[in-house]
């Protein structure tokens, strides 16, 4: 990890000593994902009390905070993804959202998500410091290189080729880190940015800067994560793939002289009995927005796969943006989380069909079992 003032080991120790939640001793970190966009993470018409209003979103965050969750993680969207639901078409911008959530909560980390091509690094650095101060040092930054072509084209030009996006992102985060850590006169001359005599004050409360996350799993993405980030956001189809991916990611990080925490994401579908859980799962899929699932899976190149593979990809999108869904009774959910933790996954960013009602249920029925299993303190 490139840090201008301290070694990787000193950085981790500083984060732990200052009480940064993502560096606590819980073996399985928990975060709420996607509560800033319409339909959350599920592309379905299934009934829910979830709605994209400020008061409702604040209620979700405050409940997660009381339950001891480590993070609130938003989805960055500038346009809907189509289908009957225009999935995520209504959304809150993530820096302004994070500032409000920070003021409404006490302990939980509040992340922003940025598509780095959409925001100048000097502006992003200043906005993130503002959230870090509002939150008392609880801010984190999730960087994406911009994967949704139609969205990126809203900002002019064309979508950059994959590895070029990471070259752009490398320059972008170097400028941001220098704005966070250096005094007056930051100058930078690169392939994408020319920065002259820049300065930003105040500096972040977190030292040397806020927690950084990226979801890069390609060679270019993994190299970027190993050099610049605290956590890598991985995707997988089963625990065996999770174990292989986590091991590969950590190996690349070690070769770069650092380490990476491993996070993933998925919706939780949980009821007291297997029968009730299956009924809810079937209802979500029966009411799914299959139009947007077909559009997104097509954009990801699944037309060349088998029918079963395509259908599975579409179901995974409906059930939670292609993440790894946790489905079962409370006991089964904890067994699944244990299996993921043993595979090397240290945190799950989760969503629900009905965030408030099901998060309350999760706190009553699942969290105590996680503590019994040693996943939470």
Count the alpha carbons within 13 Å of 341 in the hemisphere toward its beta carbon. Answer: 17
Give me the pLDDT at residue 304, please: 40
Beta bridge partners of 29: 347
- Binned at pLDDT 50, 70 and 90, residue 301 comes out as very low
Q: Give residues with Cβ within 8 angstroms of 255, minimum separation 6.
A: 226
pTM of the model: 0.93
322: left (phi over 0), alpha (psi -120 to 50) or beta: left
Predicted pLDDT of residue 299? 55
**pLDDT at position 105, please?**
98
Residue 77 has pLDDT above 80, yes or no: yes
pLDDT of residue 149 exceeding 80: no
* pLDDT at residue 335 in the model: 98
- Count of H-run helices and E-run strands, the chain: 14, 11
| Integer Cα distance of 20 and 112 in angstroms | 16
Interior CA angle at 360 toward 358 and 364, to 5°? 110
pLDDT in tens, 37-60: 999 999 999 999 999 999 999 999
User: In DSSP terms, which residues pair with 288 in a beta bridge?
Assistant: 44
Q: Chain-wide mean pLDDT for the chain?
A: 92
Q: Return d(Cα 103, Cα 92) in angstroms, integer.
A: 16
**Which carries the bigger pLDDT value, residue 161 or residue 72?**
72
């Amino acid at each position: 990890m490139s840090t201008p003032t301290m070694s990787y080991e000193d950085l981790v120790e500083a984060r732990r000593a200052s009480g940064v939640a993502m560096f606590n001793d819980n073996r399985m970190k928990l975060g709420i994902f996607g509560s800033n966009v319409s339909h959350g993470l599920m592309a379905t018409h299934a009934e829910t009390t979830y709605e994209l209003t400020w008061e409702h979103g604040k209620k979700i965050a405050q409940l997660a905070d009381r339950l001891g969750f480590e993070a609130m993680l938003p989805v960055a969207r500038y346009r809907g993804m189509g289908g009957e639901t225009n999935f995520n078409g209504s959304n809150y911008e993530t820096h302004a959202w994070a500032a409000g959530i920070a003021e409404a909560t006490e302990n939980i980390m509040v992340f922003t998500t940025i598509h780095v091509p959409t925001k100048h690094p000097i502006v992003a650095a200043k906005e993130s410091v503002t959230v870090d101060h509002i939150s008392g040092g609880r801010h984190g930054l999730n960087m994406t290189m911009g994967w949704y072509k139609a969205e990126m084209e809203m900002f002019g030009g064309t979508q950059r080729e994959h590895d070029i996006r990471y070259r752009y992102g490398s320059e972008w985060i170097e400028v941001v880190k220098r704005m966070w850590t250096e005094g007056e006169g930051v100058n930078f001359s690169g392939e994408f940015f020319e920065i002259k005599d820049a300065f930003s004050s105040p500096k972040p409360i977190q030292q040397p800067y806020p927690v950084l996350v990226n979801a890069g799993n390609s060679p270019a993405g993994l190299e970027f994560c190993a050099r610049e980030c605290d956590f890598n956001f991985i995707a997988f189809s089963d625990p065996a793939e999770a174990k292989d991916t986590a091991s590969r990611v950590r190996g690349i990080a070690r070769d770069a002289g650092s380490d990476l925490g491993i996070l993933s994401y998925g919706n939780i579908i949980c009821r007291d009995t297997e029968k009730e859980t299956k009924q809810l799962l079937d209802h979500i899929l029966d009411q799914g927005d299959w139009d947007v699932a077909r559009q997104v899976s097509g954009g990801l190149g699944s037309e060349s796969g088998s029918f079963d593979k395509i259908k599975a990809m579409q179901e995974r999108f409906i059930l939670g943006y292609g993440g790894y869904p946790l489905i079962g009774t409370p006991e089964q959910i904890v067994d699944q989380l244990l299996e993921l933790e043993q595979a090397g996954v240290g945190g799950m960013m989760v969503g629900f069909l009905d965030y408030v009602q099901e998060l309350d249920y999760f706190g009553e029925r699942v969290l105590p079992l996680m503590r019994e299993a040693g996943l939470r303190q």
